[in-house]
Structure 1
């Protein structure tokens, strides 16, 4: 059983998948940093200084205890975080589109192999002529 597992793990597909997952996680961190640190301040600048991550609809206010600590935290819908996630998705989609487009452009089409032997029409003609005889 260990031998089968070793063969499975060491196949190219599993290793490629592992590398892809690790790169996807790292790419996610880079894109998240780009969105939160670069894109959102620019969007906020053009929307009058709005910070989407602070946008929320408060359903229940926080309740403070007598000593000033929070006895019950606020209950809120954080739709600003959702807007950030949508912008993140659009940026990731755009980057993947550009990468795939560049890859397809760089990849050269393989020439079609030359047909070997007689064509299908030649074979059918020979069969027809043989049947006539």
Structure 2
């Protein structure tokens, strides 16, 4: 029993360490924001983008665009309905999401490149030797040369 409690305690400790790590928290925040953003994009497509397209197509409501296939197997059942209007709205949502994510990832990549360049410049500055150190090195070399010719 004591071994089981120790094992359970170790598991709880490991799980806590995993859950508190930044990656898991970042992932959870990303999922929440992604869900909210998806809802906004769906509303944009359903309520703002597709109604004008429907108006241009002669007052068509995309949600009601369907193909009804008569049910040949069960004659007394209603027809099978293919809702291609909703599918078109989903494709538009996907394209908008892909477009936005492309620019987000492009921006993140640009920021990473800028950060990497800045770090590289800082490392190069650290490597550069100041003029005083260069002069001291020359004096050291001259003194070493002079002492070797005297000996």
Give TM-score scaled by structure 2 length. Answer: 0.61
Higher helix share goes to which structure?
2
Deviation at 1:116, TM superposition (A): 4.8
More displaced, 96-105 or 1-10? 96-105
The answer to whether the Cα contact below 8 Å between 2:51 and 2:62 also exists between their aligned partners in 1 is: no
RMSD: 2.5
Alpha-carbon spacing, 1:106–1:83, altered in 2? closer, same or farther (3 Å): same
**Structure 2 unaligned blocks of 5 or more:** 1-10, 129-151
- Aligned counterpart in structure 1 of residue 98 of structure 2, from 93, 104, 121: 93
More displaced, 76-85 or 90-99? 90-99
The CA distance in 1 between the partners of 2:100 and 2:40, in whole Å, is 12
SS at match of 1:44: helix
Does residue 11 in structure 1 map to residue 18 in structure 2?
Answer: no
- 1:52 corresponds to which residue? 62
SS at match of 1:49: coil
More displaced, 78-87 or 41-50? 41-50
The CA distance in 2 between the partners of 1:39 and 1:29, in whole Å, is 14
SS at match of 2:41: helix
Alpha-carbon spacing, 1:13–1:43, altered in 2? closer, same or farther (3 Å): same
The answer to whether the Cα contact below 8 Å between 2:68 and 2:79 also exists between their aligned partners in 1 is: yes
Deviation at 1:32, TM superposition (A): 0.6
Does residue 29 in structure 1 map to residue 39 in structure 2?
Answer: yes
Deviation at 1:104, TM superposition (A): 4.7
- 2:135 corresponds to which residue? none
The CA distance in 2 between the partners of 1:13 and 1:74, in whole Å, is 49
**Structure 1 unaligned blocks of 5 or more:** 62-70, 118-133
Does residue 42 in structure 1 map to residue 52 in structure 2?
Answer: yes
More displaced, 106-115 or 16-25? 106-115
Higher strand share goes to which structure?
1
* Larger Rg over CA atoms: 2
Render the CA deviation track for 1:57-97: whole Å, top value 9, x for unaligned. Answer: 11137xxxxxxxxx844421111111111011111122223
